[in-house]
Structure 1
Amino acid sequence: MEITLGPLLYFWPKDRVISFYRDVCEWPVNRVYLGETVCNKRRQMKLGDWLAIGEELQSAGKTVVLSTLALLEAASDLAALKKVCDNDRFHVEANDMAAVHKLSQAGIPFTTGPLFNIYNAYTLKELIDCGLERWTLPLELSATDLYCILGQADELGLTDKFSTEVFVWGMMPLAVSARCFTARAHDLPKDDCQFVCMQYPEGLPVYSQENDRVFTLNGIQTQSGRCLNLLGDVPAMAASGVDAVRVSPQPDGTKEVVLSLVDQVSGVGEHELVHPAGCCQGYWHGKAGMVPMVDITP
C-alpha cells in the first residue's frame, strides 16, 4: 500500500513551503501532490516553483503529481489550468471537470481528488474512458459505500483499470465557495483580502455557542473542525482493495503521522496520535462526520 502526501491546503510563506518539501524528500512517502488547490489569489508559489520542488522530490524517489484548483472563477484560472495540464514532467490530479476535459483531450492519464464527486462505478467507467487511472474516495462516503463501489466496478470488469486512494489524516476539505470566509471574519472584501489566511497556517477555527469546534475556515474552503484520523482503519483498507492512503499536510506533526502509517501498513504496531483540535473518523463508519473519536464505536 502506498502512502501519499496530499496537496498543501493552507497558505504558507514561500520559504516555509520550500523548507517543508525539502524535509519531505527524506520521508517514507511514495507519492506527493503539489500545487494550489484552494484559492487563485495565493500566488507566492508560481508553477515554476512547484516544478522545481517536484524535481527535487522526484530525485528523492517520489512520484510527483500536480494538483489543480477545485474552483475555477476566471479566464486566468483556465489559462493556469492549461499550463498545469500541459506540463510534460509530472502526473496531474484533476479537481474539477474542466481539468478532466483538458487532460482527456490531450490523452493524458489523471487522478481525481477527494472533492471530485464519484459515487458509483458507472461514473468511474465514464472517467476511465477519459483517462482516469486513480481516484480518491469522496470524504462524505463510508467504508460500506467504498466497498459497494469496488464490488460494482468488479462486476463491470474495471478492477484492473484504476487504483483507489483514501484520505486518512487531516482537516477534511468539505466545500469551496466563491466567497472568502477568512477575509469576511476580518471585515475585508474578497478583492482586498490582504491575504489574511496566511495568518492561519492550519486554518481559522470556528466554534459553536457551546464552544464546540465545528468548522475550520481556510480562505474560500470550509474544512472540518476536527482532524480526520483513520490510521487505525488502514489495515482493513489494505485487505479490502485500497491501494493508497493520503495524509494532508499540517504545520506540525505530519512526519509523525507518516511514520505511524508506515507502522500500520507494515503491521509492526500502532501509535495513538492526537491532533490539538481533536480527532474524528469522518463518515467512514457511517456516523455524523464531526463526532469525536471517543464517541465512536466502529
Structure 2
Amino acid sequence: MSRHEAKFIKEIIKDVLNKLEPKYLYVPEHLVGMDRLARNIYDFLSTATDDVCIVGIHGMPGIGKTTIAKVVLNQLCYRFEGSCFLSNINETSKQFNGLVPLQKQLLRDILKQDVANFDCVDRGKVMIKDRLRRKRVLVVADDLAHLDQLNALMGDRSWFGPRSRVIITTRYSSLLGEADQTFQIKELEPDEALQLFSWHAFKDTKPAEDYIELSKKAVDYCGGLPLALKVIGALLYRENKDRWESEIDNLSRIPNQDIQGKLLERSLNVFREKQSS
C-alpha cells in the first residue's frame, strides 16, 4: 500500500468515526416543568425560515436555562453538519485571553479537526467566518453577559451558513436584541417545585408521609428555583428529621429579599463540595 493510499484510508476512518461520535449532552432525568418550554423552542427552530435563526433564553441564575438549551440541542443536533455547546462563556471569558479558547472550541467541535493555532480574538473571528460561513451549524452560546462575548463568536449571521441555528442563554434580556424569538424561564409552580424537590430528597414524585410538612416548608423557602430545590433536596436525602429541621431553620433566617441569591450561592457551594469529594 502506498503512502498516499494509507493516508486516504486514515482520512476515511476518521470521517466515519466523527459521524458515529455521540453528539448528545447529559441532562438530568427528571426535567420537571421544562418539557413545554423546550418543546416550544424546538418547534420554533424547526419551522423557522432558511435564514440563520437566533433564539434567546433568559431568566435568573439557577432557573434552568442551560438545561433547556441542552435538551433542545440533543433534539436537533443530528440535523446539522456540526454542533457546538459553548458552556459558561462569561466565566471562561474572564480568564486571560479567555475568548480565544471558546473560538477554538467552536471551530474544533464543528469541523471535527484540529484548527490552526491563534492567540488573537480578531484572528479567531476571521477564521470562524471563513471556515463556517457555508456550513449549516447548531451553536449554543451559554451564559452570555456582554455583547463582546457574542461578537467574538458570531459577529453577524453571515458567519454561519443558511439554516443554521443559534441558541443564546443569558440572565440579561437586553443582550437579545438580535434574536428572532426570546423565551423567558420563570420559577416553577408550587406543585412542580415540590415534585422536583421530592425527586432529589426522596427519589420519588412526592415526599414521604411523615416529611410532607417539612418538605413544604423547604420548598417555600427555595421558591421555584430549580437549582436550589435540587441541591437542598440532595443535601437532605436520607437525613433524619433533626437535620431537616436544622437546615430548614437555617433557610428561614435568610431575608425574603435575599433568599434567591443566598440560596443560589449556598447551592453552588454544596454542589462544588460534592464534586470535589
Greater share of strand: 1
> Which structure has the bigger radius of gyration?
2
Tell me the TM-score normalised to structure 2 length.
Answer: 0.26
Tell me the TM-score normalised to structure 1 length.
Answer: 0.25
